[in-house]
Amino acid sequence: MPNPEGTPIWYELITADPIASKKFYDHVIGWTVDPDPMSPEMDYRGISVAGGGMVGGVMRLSDDMAAHGGKPTWLFYIGVDDVDASVEKVKANGGSILMPPWDIEGVGRISMVSDPQGIPFYVMRGASDENSTAFDRTGMGKCNWNELNTPDQAGANKFYADTFGWKYPDKMSMGEMGDYIFIDAAGQTIGATMPLQPGDSQGWRFYFRTPDIEDTAKKVGESGGTVLAGPMDVPGGDRIIVATDAHGVVFGAVGPGNA
């Protein structure tokens, strides 16, 4: 995947029950999660969007993963030109290596790392000659926004800038909640960082586009999830919700506004 250095290229749900997660997200977001694993060696299923293309995958949380601290969560992959060089930058800039670089034939080279605040993500150089379109600011079913909730916003911003070349050209005041600082990765706005709020959980939060945010909120409840915030308007004309799926994993959804 020749996507520019530092841009998101894949999203991954880790879940103890892929079949139940398929039922939830197929209904709520409108995806088609593969009914069967891609290979017998690993319970990994692709996530296809209605308009064609893929946004990511669903991985079963194995007993071994859970024994080593793994838990149900959403993660993303940051595309890089050289995984090994990026891993060295992660270490030099105060991050940690959770899984050293490894190769998957036909897929690419990957490493699982964390930032200095312990927030995990992957770095990857994909084997495909085609660009990933998993992140698309307006793509239906795609991730439209990446939001970092961090206990050390200044430290996190410096880490991602030093490691991936991110820039922070603008910000929006949230009053007592601090600043919402926008992320520029390779010339495109991919999301924002914000200070961790009391009672919230730290980590990356991903917003996936749906046609009707009120309908999406209703479907969350129908499917055993919980809407934590919204539906509410956000700058730019969209409406969002923050919710948990049926297993308590936090995610976001975004849809067109009422105007």
Domain ranges of the chain: 8-126, 143-256
DSSP annotation of 83:
H
> Would you write out the chain's pLDDT as a tens digit for each of its 259 residues?
789 999 999 999 999 999 999 999 999 999 999 999 887 678 999 999 998 899 999 999 988 878 878 899 999 999 999 999 999 999 999 999 999 999 998 899 999 999 999 999 999 999 998 899 999 999 999 999 999 999 999 999 999 999 999 999 999 999 999 999 999 999 999 999 999 999 889 999 999 999 999 999 999 999 999 999 989 999 889 999 999 999 999 999 999 987 5
Domain 8-126 part of CATH 3.40.50.300: no
Please classify residue 27 by burial: count the beta carbons closer than 10 Å to its beta carbon, then call 0-12 exposed, 13-18 middle and 19+ buried.
middle
Report pLDDT for 259.
57
Domains 8-126 and 143-256 share a fold: yes
Residue with tokens 């890089």: 80
Architecture of domain 143-256: Roll (3.10)
Q: What is the pTM of this model?
A: 0.96
